[in-house]
A and B are shown apart, each in its own frame.
Chain A
């Protein structure tokens, strides 16, 4: 069963990464990030179960906390971007180049 769980985890990470890469809507980019993080979390929990060590589950708590802060900051950025340009299209925001 281990392999199956890991494949699910890999699928989540890959789908999330693809979402970040190809979607235009910043909100969906954020959601994709959440999915990626969950893929990593699933990996932690799986290893925790198969190694018989609860530390992985504790790590997941930290991952959850970090994900929550990441979302908070990401959403704050989204709100600010929206205020400035009335848009959530990531392609409208390329000032990092300058």
Chain B
């Protein structure tokens, strides 16, 4: 088992090395190599998962990574009830997307490079998930950040793509600083970063409701905010859509952006000690869920709609882990990986056959040309809208029900409204793209629009099936929800004093009503055309403009952060500090002094190597004589 677990990580690494080093020669089969590596990794990963299912947590230490005097940091891997879920999601969804990429990226000149990066990403993600201590998680955390940067800027000839990559990298740095601070605090308080060492002692060392627990919780959450693109550090995620679509699917929807949720669920022992930190996590999650959903309402670019939708769903996950019901967050993480991955893949298939066109204004009636893609898109949209029996219903309902039960009625209300908006904007997109008439005459004919090849549709169907049945582990069986029962071993739900009880049927009814209502509204507006979208836009013109311009946040950041930064950089740092102080004062001054001294010392510069050796030897003699006469005699 020890070797198997190591090879779960090593196989994608080997794939990365093969495609990274021998890319020039493996180009025709790069995709096959990468997908095979992931397939092997997934199958090997099943062994530890089964072991966990049988109740044995798998943890091995391979070697001592960093021995410091008191703090010893091992390189070890751990599969417990939380990471088993992530391990399954990451390896499986990655595998599917690798297969899909074979079709999507065919013919690209960076084919081998693409798969090398993709494998590197999975390696880093698995280190993040499986590492048995925070520092190892941080290594993976940075690794996925790097892979994300490389893949966003994959088409680096496009300046928007490389700028988006840089933006993602820079914004993530802010979060990473918080994460590092959190780790340093952990080292300070616990003298260790290993999970099995920190969590059992957390209550004893930190104490319930202590400031230390709050600080650690918030610092770690800042990291999660950066990586999982929560308010206010979400600005990089929408630009990240410049990368290839499978990348958006794998990294910016299914796996990497959920790392923050995973981290909070992982650190449940610390968050359960700090109600304040939990409140912050849940509030920011709820706010982001609502805020991002409003922005998704007006966008016309398929991928941007999906990106805002991802932000919104990540917000739901943070509600789940923030209120202390960690299993609900992880549950939504899992189902979201299935249906949002699928949505992006379907969007990619549309893009693929539309030669990169993305605007929903140009499409319509695509169902006739791409029946399979349309079918999976509808399945995924039903799943995200929370219609039973699709996966999203169970997980979203679990989050909202626990929010209400654990005493957060406002979050519940926000969540239900967001659920309505989610259903609306998803079906706005589906109806506009796949139903109705062609909006541009003869466009499909000119573009030779056609169904995606089998190598792309099969992974989509696999994910579609999971989007349907993936939520069934959340159905109550004999008084227990299987998924809750599973995760709770490693991430026990925080206990609250006054647990409110509501009729489950009523809550489910409300959730379903919201979902159906959203779909109905979209149907009325975009298919029946009872009232046209333009009319509504005109009625609420200021709000529409605000939403269409994404609340002017990018402009705000540019005006209030980037510009002052530039101003200070140009006028103070450059013109004064650099030119006057450093150039004139220090550099020229130093140069002047050095010139004077050099004139004297130039006589020593003979150019003969032997002469240099004299001076070195004389120096040794001086030093040893000083030691001899001053220290010893």
A and B touch in the complex (CB under 8 A): yes
Residue of B nearest to A97 (CB): B607
Residue of B nearest to A10 (CB): B624
B607/A95 in contact, CB under 8 A? yes
Residue of A nearest to B617 (CB): A17
Beta-carbon contacts under 8 Å, B593-618 to A = 605-610, 613-614, 617
B610/A90 in contact, CB under 8 A? yes
Closest 8 CB pairs of A and B: A97-B607, A94-B607, A20-B613, A21-B613, A96-B607, A90-B609, A17-B617, A94-B608
How many Å from the CB of A20 to the closest CB on chain B? 5
Identify B607's interface contact among A17, A22, A98, CB under 8 A.
A98
Known: A17-B617, A21-B617. A97 touches B605 (CB 8 A): yes
Identify B610's interface contact among A21, A95, A97, CB under 8 A.
A21
How many Å from the CB of A15 to the closest CB on chain B? 12
Q: Given the complex of chains A and B, what is the CA–CA distance between A96 and B609 in angstroms?
A: 9
- A17-B613, A93-B609, A95-B607 given; 7 more Cβ-contact pairs under 8 Å: A90-B609, A90-B610, A91-B610, A93-B607, A97-B605, A97-B607, A98-B607
Known: A17-B617, A21-B614, A21-B617. A29 touches B609 (CB 8 A): yes
Q: Given the complex of chains A and B, what is the CA–CA distance between A21 and B621 in angstroms?
A: 14
Q: Given the complex of chains A and B, what is the CA–CA distance between A21 and B609 in angstroms?
A: 8
Q: List 8 A-B contacts (CB under 8 A).
A: A17-B620, A20-B610, A21-B613, A22-B610, A90-B610, A91-B608, A97-B605, A98-B607
Residue of A nearest to B602 (CB): A97
B613/A96 in contact, CB under 8 A? no
With a cutoff of 8 Å between Cβ atoms, the chain A residues found around residue B620 in the complex are 17
With a cutoff of 8 Å between Cβ atoms, the chain B residues found around residue A98 in the complex are 607
With a cutoff of 8 Å between Cβ atoms, the chain A residues found around residue B614 in the complex are 21
Residue of B nearest to A18 (CB): B617
Residue of A nearest to B609 (CB): A90
Q: Given the complex of chains A and B, what is the CA–CA distance between A17 and B612 in angstroms?
A: 11
Q: Which of A21, A29, A95, A97 counts the most B-chain CB atoms under 10 A from its CB?
A: A21
Q: Given the complex of chains A and B, what is the CA–CA distance between A91 and B610 in angstroms?
A: 8
B613/A94 in contact, CB under 8 A? no
Residue of B nearest to A17 (CB): B617
Q: Dominant SS at the B interface?
A: helix
With a cutoff of 8 Å between Cβ atoms, the chain B residues found around residue A94 in the complex are 606-608
Q: Dominant SS at the A interface?
A: helix
Q: Given the complex of chains A and B, what is the CA–CA distance between A90 and B609 in angstroms?
A: 7
How many Å from the CB of A29 to the closest CB on chain B? 7
Residue of A nearest to B620 (CB): A17
With a cutoff of 8 Å between Cβ atoms, the chain A residues found around residue B605 in the complex are 96-97
A97/B606 in contact, CB under 8 A? yes
Residue of B nearest to A32 (CB): B613
Number of interface residues of A (CB under 8 A): 13
Q: Given the complex of chains A and B, what is the CA–CA distance between A95 and B609 in angstroms?
A: 10
Beta-carbon contacts under 8 Å, B383-413 to A = none
Beta-carbon contacts under 8 Å, A41-98 to B = 90-91, 93-98
Q: Given the complex of chains A and B, what is the CA–CA distance between A91 and B611 in angstroms?
A: 10
Residue of B nearest to A20 (CB): B613
Number of interface residues of B (CB under 8 A): 10
Q: Given the complex of chains A and B, what is the CA–CA distance between A21 and B224 in angstroms?
A: 61
With a cutoff of 8 Å between Cβ atoms, the chain A residues found around residue B608 in the complex are 90-91, 94
How many Å from the CB of A58 to the closest CB on chain B? 15
Q: Which of B609, B614, B620 counts the most A-chain CB atoms under 10 A from its CB?
A: B609
How many Å from the CB of B69 to the closest CB on chain A? 16
How many Å from the CB of B598 to the closest CB on chain A? 13
How many Å from the CB of B602 to the closest CB on chain A? 9
Residue of B nearest to A98 (CB): B607
Q: Given the complex of chains A and B, what is the CA–CA distance between A90 and B614 in angstroms?
A: 14
How many Å from the CB of B573 to the closest CB on chain A? 37
With a cutoff of 8 Å between Cβ atoms, the chain B residues found around residue A21 in the complex are 610, 613-614, 617
Q: Given the complex of chains A and B, what is the CA–CA distance between A95 and B608 in angstroms?
A: 9
Q: Given the complex of chains A and B, what is the CA–CA distance between A96 and B610 in angstroms?
A: 12
With a cutoff of 8 Å between Cβ atoms, the chain B residues found around residue A97 in the complex are 605-607
With a cutoff of 8 Å between Cβ atoms, the chain A residues found around residue B613 in the complex are 17, 20-21
With a cutoff of 8 Å between Cβ atoms, the chain B residues found around residue A91 in the complex are 608, 610
Q: Given the complex of chains A and B, what is the CA–CA distance between A94 and B608 in angstroms?
A: 5
Beta-carbon contacts under 8 Å, A10-34 to B = 17, 20-22, 29
Q: Given the complex of chains A and B, what is the CA–CA distance between A93 and B610 in angstroms?
A: 11
Beta-carbon contacts under 8 Å, B559-608 to A = 605-608
With a cutoff of 8 Å between Cβ atoms, the chain A residues found around residue B607 in the complex are 93-98
Q: Given the complex of chains A and B, what is the CA–CA distance between A93 and B607 in angstroms?
A: 7
With a cutoff of 8 Å between Cβ atoms, the chain A residues found around residue B617 in the complex are 17, 21
How many Å from the CB of B605 to the closest CB on chain A? 5
Q: Given the complex of chains A and B, what is the CA–CA distance between A59 and B532 in angstroms?
A: 79
Q: Given the complex of chains A and B, what is the CA–CA distance between A96 and B611 in angstroms?
A: 12
With a cutoff of 8 Å between Cβ atoms, the chain B residues found around residue A22 in the complex are 610
Q: Given the complex of chains A and B, what is the CA–CA distance between A93 and B612 in angstroms?
A: 13
How many Å from the CB of A94 to the closest CB on chain B? 3
Residue of B nearest to A29 (CB): B609
Q: Given the complex of chains A and B, what is the CA–CA distance between A29 and B610 in angstroms?
A: 9
Residue of B nearest to A22 (CB): B610
With a cutoff of 8 Å between Cβ atoms, the chain B residues found around residue A20 in the complex are 610, 613
Residue of B nearest to A93 (CB): B609
How many Å from the CB of B608 to the closest CB on chain A? 5
Q: Given the complex of chains A and B, what is the CA–CA distance between A97 and B611 in angstroms?
A: 12
Q: Given the complex of chains A and B, what is the CA–CA distance between A76 and B614 in angstroms?
A: 24
Q: Which of B608, B613, B614 counts the most A-chain CB atoms under 10 A from its CB?
A: B613
Q: Given the complex of chains A and B, what is the CA–CA distance between A95 and B614 in angstroms?
A: 18
How many Å from the CB of A36 to the closest CB on chain B? 10
Q: Given the complex of chains A and B, what is the CA–CA distance between A20 and B612 in angstroms?
A: 10
How many Å from the CB of B624 to the closest CB on chain A? 10
How many Å from the CB of B67 to the closest CB on chain A? 14
With a cutoff of 8 Å between Cβ atoms, the chain A residues found around residue B606 in the complex are 94, 97
Residue of A nearest to B624 (CB): A10
Residue of B nearest to A91 (CB): B608
Q: Given the complex of chains A and B, what is the CA–CA distance between A90 and B607 in angstroms?
A: 10
Q: Given the complex of chains A and B, what is the CA–CA distance between A21 and B606 in angstroms?
A: 14
Q: Given the complex of chains A and B, what is the CA–CA distance between A5 and B584 in angstroms?
A: 56
Q: Given the complex of chains A and B, what is the CA–CA distance between A95 and B607 in angstroms?
A: 6
Q: Given the complex of chains A and B, what is the CA–CA distance between A6 and B496 in angstroms?
A: 72
Residue of B nearest to A94 (CB): B607
Q: Given the complex of chains A and B, what is the CA–CA distance between A17 and B617 in angstroms?
A: 7
How many Å from the CB of A27 to the closest CB on chain B? 13
How many Å from the CB of B432 to the closest CB on chain A? 65
